[in-house]
Amino acid sequence: MKRRVFVHLVLCVFSAICSVGFAQGDQPQKSEEDNGYQQISLFAKAIELIRQDYVDAKKTGYRDLITAALKGMLSSLDPHSQFMDPDDFRDMQDDTRSRFNGLGIEVTMKNGLPTVITAIEDTPAARAGIMAGDQILRINGISTEKMDLQDAVNVLRGPAGAKVTLTLLRPSTKEIKDYALERAEIKIQSVKGARLLDPELTGPFKIGYIRIVQFNEPTAADLSKALDELQKQGMQALILDLRNNPGGLLNSAVDVCGEFLPPNTKVVSTQGRVPSQQRDYLTSAAKKERPNFPMVVLINEGSASGAEIVAGALKDLRRAVLVGETTFGKGSVQNVMQLPDGSAVRFTTAKYYTPGKQVIQGNGVTPNIPVSMTMEQERALFALRNAQNVKPEDETTIIKTKDPQMLRAIDALKGVMIYAQENAPKAQAVKK
3-state secondary structure of 234: coil
CA dihedral 77, 80, 85, 90 (to 10 degrees): -160
Q: Strand, coil or helix: what is 50?
A: helix
3-state DSSP call for residue 20?
Answer: helix
144 in Cβ contact with 152 (< 8 Å): yes
At residue 207, the 3 state secondary structure works out as strand
**Identity of the amino acid at 133:** G
The Cα–Cα gap between 374 and 134 comes to 15
Active site residues: 305, 316, 330
User: Cα separation of 416 and 167, whole Å?
Assistant: 46
Q: What is the CA radius of gyration of the chain?
A: 26
266-272 and 191-196 as β-strands: parallel, antiparallel, unpaired? Answer: unpaired
Residue 192 phi, psi (nearest 5): -135, 160
Strands (E) located in 339-406? 344-353, 369-370
Which are the contacts of 113, defined by CB distance < 8 A and separation ≥ 6? Answer: 135, 136, 137, 144, 145, 169
In the three-class reduction of DSSP (H, G, I as helix; E, B as strand; rest coil), residue 405 is classed as helix
Quick one: which of 198, 194, 211 has its CA closest to 393? Answer: 198
Residues 105, 130: contact at Cβ < 8 Å? yes
Phi, psi at 298, each rounded to 5°: -90, 130
Cα–Cα dist 298/416, whole Å: 17
Q: Go through the chain and tell me how many residues it has.
A: 432
393 within 8 A of 384, measured Cβ to Cβ: no
